[in-house]
Amino acid sequence: MELFVFIVAGAMVLGGAVGVILSKHPVHAALSLILTLFGVAVLFVAQQANFLAAVQVIVYAGAIVVLFLFVIMLLGVDNAENLRIEPFRIQRPLAAVVGAGIFGLVVAAIIVSREAETAVRGDGLEVTGADGAPLHDGNIKALARDLFSGHVLAFELTSVLLVIAVVGTVMLARKPRKGDFDGSAS
């Protein structure tokens, strides 16, 4: 059963990934990306990481790819890109290097994990309640405790970074007006 789920989800992830690369049309590529994200969510559920799966769908499939599609629609990128035009010359060799590097990392991770002791199979993160009974949504409690106690500084810094990114984008996207740069305050 677990193998079956893994094979189906793996096929979804890989099929989606191949689709993202091979689709001529940006919208189709975005749709393939959704397939990949769903496959990953299924894998999370199979590992009892229910919360991660839900957040994966809500944040990535529900918000980020919607934004991708929104931008594609608004800009009206309806035609396939001409692949022969290369805005940055170094882009392609660099992409090959990065791709090979990531592949190497994944292989290294597999090799390392073969030598490490096998994880004990269980219901995801085991958390016991006050009365010693296992909690069903232990994932969320353990994640929250970890995130908001041990890593609270990193968490807050990330949110500040996001705010800065948003403000920066707004500033960059503003149409420069007459009188903006001549030093006269409004």
* Residue with smaller CB distance to other proteins, 82 or 186: 186
Among 8, 17, 20, 31, indicate the residue that binds other proteins (CB under 8 A): 31
Q: Does residue 148 bind other proteins (CB under 8 A)?
A: no
Question: Half-sphere exposure (CA, 13 Å, Cβ side) for 117?
Answer: 3
Tell me the three state secondary structure of residue 175: coil
Among 5, 18, 70, 161, indicate the residue that binds other proteins (CB under 8 A): 70
CA 127, 129, 135, 138 torsion: positive or negative? negative
Q: Does residue 125 bind other proteins (CB under 8 A)?
A: no
Question: Half-sphere exposure (CA, 13 Å, Cβ side) for 152?
Answer: 5
Q: Does residue 156 bind other proteins (CB under 8 A)?
A: no
Shortest distance in whole angstroms from residue 4 CB to other proteins: 14
Query: Which amino acid does the sequence have at 84?
Result: R
Structure token pair of residue 92:
């392609």
* Residue with smaller CB distance to other proteins, 92 or 145: 145
Q: Does residue 127 bind other proteins (CB under 8 A)?
A: no
